[in-house]
């Protein structure tokens, strides 16, 4: 076939631009596996919310984020091919995510989540991948844990936030999907507590965390559509009460609130085992432990059981956390403390017959 010089030049330049062109994944692409709670912008709320991608031919990944992204930035935990999470600070605009050296000829799984209980909003516009990259479905684990709690579950004070907190560590150990609906300072009772406008007995059923009240662009909450929890949670874990106690909610009122909360949870999660933590308390330098609601959690679990629901388990955390395991200034578990709590809870779950998955459900294979 005969081509004129200008035609050849045109062909060459279109080949070059094809090589430089990239693949843009729109924020409503069904192959983006969203987890946790996202509003319609779409934007994250609650520490741990994020997304997962399974990509062939990946060498470059850029997140383009919109105006509802936390300012000045949001800390995001990133894990490539199920390796440990590292932090990337992202901002509104274009954010290239470092991926390290990727083995050739294999698919790549990228997992990404907001780490913080505040400044945890990323507003996804689109994702730009290198030319030739192609999304495949991310296959979720058969295990899916939902954790409900306060600062002691949200990873407050940890360098990597929720990514170093015991719920997240437990989820990773079991190779499970995991969602952490936890708000520092919040009670279970629906009261104002340490600047949170609502307790978890309200906020758990909303898309937004209590941070909504401190935003001007989204100062409201919307109901969470639980059909968007995918996969459906298989296990529910609750550790709460410290801030009810701090707000002088009586034990009997706390117990009533907790029982009503479980009743409402059962309308959503009728068959899932519920694991109810007793407090490990507030460890002091002299070795003593500040306790709250002694006996209340036993009463809650026994009351539910005597009502015929046997699928509820008390997790007695007595002695799990000592002064060496907490930050001395705020008595919240430190990095090692969270690892210790996770190891203890993993034993409890294993003894209850929950088995860590042998492999992540999305395999890394030759493609």
Ligand X SMILES: *[C@@H]1O[C@H](CO)[C@@H](O)[C@H](O)[C@H]1NC(C)=O
- Site residues (CB under 6 A) for ligand X? 75, 87, 89, 150-152, 184-185, 194, 213-216, 219, 242-243, 246-248
Shortest spacing between CB 73 and ligand X, in angstroms: 6
Of 29 and 217, CB closest to ligand X: 217
Distances (CA, A) of 17 to 20, 58, 60, 94, 274: 5, 18, 17, 21, 55
Distances (CA, A) of 53 to 30, 36, 103, 109, 110: 11, 15, 16, 6, 5
Residue the block writes with tokens 């629901």: 309
Of 33 and 204, CB closest to ligand X: 204
What secondary structure does DSSP assign to 72-137, as a single string? S-EEEEEEETTPPPEEEEE-SEEEEPP--PPPTTB-EEEEEEE--SSS---BEEEEEE-TT-EEEP
Distance from the first to the final alpha carbon of the chain = 35
Shortest spacing between CB 264 and ligand X, in angstroms: 22
In 226-329, where does DSSP find H-type helix?
A: 242-246, 251-268, 296-306
Distance of alpha carbon 243 from alpha carbon 167, whole angstroms: 19
Shortest spacing between CB 241 and ligand X, in angstroms: 8
Of 136 and 246, CB closest to ligand X: 246
Four-point Cα dihedral 316, 318, 323, 326, nearest 10: 10
Of 150 and 208, CB closest to ligand X: 150
Shortest spacing between CB 99 and ligand X, in angstroms: 15
Distances (CA, A) of 304 to 209, 251, 276: 28, 17, 11
Helix, strand, coil shares, percent, the chain, to 5: 25, 25, 45
Shortest spacing between CB 89 and ligand X, in angstroms: 4
Number of H helices, E strands in the chain: 8, 17
Shortest spacing between CB 246 and ligand X, in angstroms: 5
- Positive or negative: CA dihedral 257, 274, 170, 43: negative
Of 50 and 184, CB closest to ligand X: 184
Distance of alpha carbon 194 from alpha carbon 95, whole angstroms: 34
Shortest spacing between CB 134 and ligand X, in angstroms: 29
Nearest to 231 by CA among 103, 145, 136, 351: 145
Shortest spacing between CB 364 and ligand X, in angstroms: 25
Of 172 and 210, CB closest to ligand X: 210
Of 292 and 360, CB closest to ligand X: 292
Of 57 and 241, CB closest to ligand X: 241
Q: Which two tokens stand for residue 270?
A: 């009728």
Shortest spacing between CB 359 and ligand X, in angstroms: 29
Shortest spacing between CB 254 and ligand X, in angstroms: 14
Distance of alpha carbon 356 from alpha carbon 303, whole angstroms: 30
Of 285 and 365, CB closest to ligand X: 285
Q: Find out whether 174 and 145 touch, Cβ atoms under 8 Å.
A: yes
């Amino acid at each position: 076939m005969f081509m004129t010089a200008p035609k050849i030049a045109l062909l060459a330049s279109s080949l070059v631009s094809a090589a430089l062109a990239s693949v843009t994944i729109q924020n409503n692409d069904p192959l983006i596996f969203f987890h946790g709670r996202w509003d319609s912008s779409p934007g994250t709320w609650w520490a741990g919310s994020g997304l997962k991608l399974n990509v062939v031919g990946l060498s470059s990944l850029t997140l383009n984020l919109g105006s509802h992204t936390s300012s000045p930035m949001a800390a995001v935990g990133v894990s490539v091919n199920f390796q440990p999470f590292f932090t990337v600070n992202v901002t509104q605009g274009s954010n290239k995510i470092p991926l390290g050296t990727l083995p050739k000829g294999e698919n790549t799984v990228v997992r990404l989540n907001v780490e913080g209980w505040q400044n945890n909003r990323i507003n996804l516009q689109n994702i730009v991948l290198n030319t030739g990259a192609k999304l495949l479905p991310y296959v979720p684990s058969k295990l899916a844990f939902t954790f409900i709690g306060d600062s002691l579950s949200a990873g407050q004070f940890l360098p990597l936030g929720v990514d170093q907190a015991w719920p997240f560590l437990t989820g990773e150990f079991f190779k499970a999907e995991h969602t952490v609906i936890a708000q520092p300072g919040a009670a279970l009772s629906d009261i104002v507590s340490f600047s949170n406008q609502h307790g978890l007995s309200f906020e758990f059923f909303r898309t937004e965390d209590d941070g909504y009240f401190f935003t001007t662009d989204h100062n409201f909450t919307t109901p969470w559509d639980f059909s968007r929890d995918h996969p459906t949670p298989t296990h529910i874990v609750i550790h709460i009460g410290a801030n009810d106690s701090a707000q002088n909610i009586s034990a009997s009122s706390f117990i009533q609130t907790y029982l009503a909360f479980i009743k409402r949870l059962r309308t959503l999660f009728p068959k899932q085992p519920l694991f109810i933590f007793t407090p490990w308390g507030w460890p002091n330098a002299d070795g003593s432990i500040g306790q709250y609601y002694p006996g209340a959690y036993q009463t809650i679990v026994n009351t539910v059981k005597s009502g015929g629901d046997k699928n509820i388990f008390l997790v007695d955390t007595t002695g799990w956390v000592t002064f060496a395991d907490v930050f001395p200034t705020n008595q919240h578990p430190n990095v090692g403390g969270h690892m210790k709590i996770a190891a203890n809870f993993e034993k409890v779950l294993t003894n209850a017959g929950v088995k860590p998955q042998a492999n992540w459900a999305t395999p890394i294979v030759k493609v």
